[in-house]
Structure 1
């Protein structure tokens, strides 16, 4: 039986949600109940639920489609993680960033064309949470969600899947050697302004501006981290 006590952290909520999925017998392709229904059944707060769903999505347990719902992922929905790790060991960080630049610029362009109001609101909320991050780890988690939300906003499941596999390779590339000079991003962190520019272009339904803003953002991040574009 499910533990109905409110989980004290994200890991507890993730475990509760996984237990719920197993107990209800959900299988690949099945759609989960709405957030409102999950909050009622699991007896947890909305923010706690959303963080748990974000984690399961990153783990490949579920996938979400704006306007359609949250679904259980199948074995064919993700590429073998060992393959991602192998690619990650064969590609340099700079080449990985070049791949990001090519793919994410197009993703941003499509988001500007297809994003729903709900998707645009979600991007805006994540963008602001990134600015409030109290640590680099928290910022990077919100940054990941920001880019994922843009891919989700394309309303194109194939583009979302391609983006997700790119993200797996990115996580497999060793970039932990980057030295941070502060505990959290400074208020004038360049990515904040770059995220604002990307969001403004998507909100304005300007595909070219969204493409160019994302292209420049990824190039800027690459230059800051690795000294190359």
Structure 2
């Protein structure tokens, strides 16, 4: 559901129907448009708000943020999954190493919560939500604003429909368990304040993701 809503926002931003400060359709309208339960739409909006893509005002509605529009516009519409994975492999392992050095205990607690919630998620949508939140929490733990801007541009490309459909097609319970084990290795290195271990574990995880998504075996 979160992926579907993100794709809707990306599409609206690219075709010009949504811009900075644009008001999103009501929850009822989103329920009808996405053919989803209202509770699922609410959870997806909560995640988007936490990620800074939307802001919600009680009694007034939900609005797209300037940062979300800038990130989407900065990501080329024709970005391929292979290009996304190349950039992730360049960016995320050293970010994990930096996070191992400078993360606060609050950062580590938030990262651990994402890890645990992801491990407890049996369904594709829930696992993907916590997977994305885990990787973003690790990036946030590096405490570098420029890196976060770069991460958000890269992450905007992951909201493109081609990425979501490929992830769904290649997902399976076994692979999700494997990804959780790899996530655990990254988080353990972060807790141990082991920059090299965090970088190696993140690279190993992303290489496995790339192999599964792109059929590199």
Shorter chain as denominator, the TM-score bin is: 0.5 to 0.7
Cα RMSD for the two superposed structures? 3.0
User: Are positions 1:105 and 2:96 aligned together?
Assistant: no
SS at match of 2:122: coil
Q: What is the TM-score of this pair, normalised by structure 2?
A: 0.67
Greater CA radius of gyration, 1 or 2?
Answer: 1
Structure-1 residue corresponding to 2:169: 179
Structure-1 residue corresponding to 2:117: 129
Structure 2: runs of 5+ lacking an equivalent: 3-20, 22-41, 56-63
Alignment of 1:184-223 (within 5 A): 185-186=173-174, 189-223=177-211
Describe the shift of the 1:98–1:128 C-alpha distance in structure 2 as closer, same or farther (beyond 3 A). Answer: same
Structure 1: runs of 5+ lacking an equivalent: 1-9, 11-27, 29-48, 63-72
Regions of 4+ moved over 4 Å: 49-53
Deviation at 1:224, TM superposition (A): 1.1
Deviation at 1:106, TM superposition (A): 1.3
CA distance in 2, matches of 1:226, 1:52: 30
User: Are positions 1:58 and 2:51 aligned together?
Assistant: yes
Answer whether contact 1:131 1:187 (CA < 8 A) is retained: no
Q: What is the TM-score of this pair, normalised by structure 1?
A: 0.64
Deviation at 1:104, TM superposition (A): 0.6
Q: 2:72 aligns with which of 65, 81, 86?
A: 81
SS at match of 2:51: helix
Structure with greater helix share of residues: 2
Alignment of 1:25-174 (within 5 A): 53-58=46-51, 60-61=53-54, 75=66, 79=70, 81-84=72-75, 87-89=76-78, 91-172=79-160, 174=162
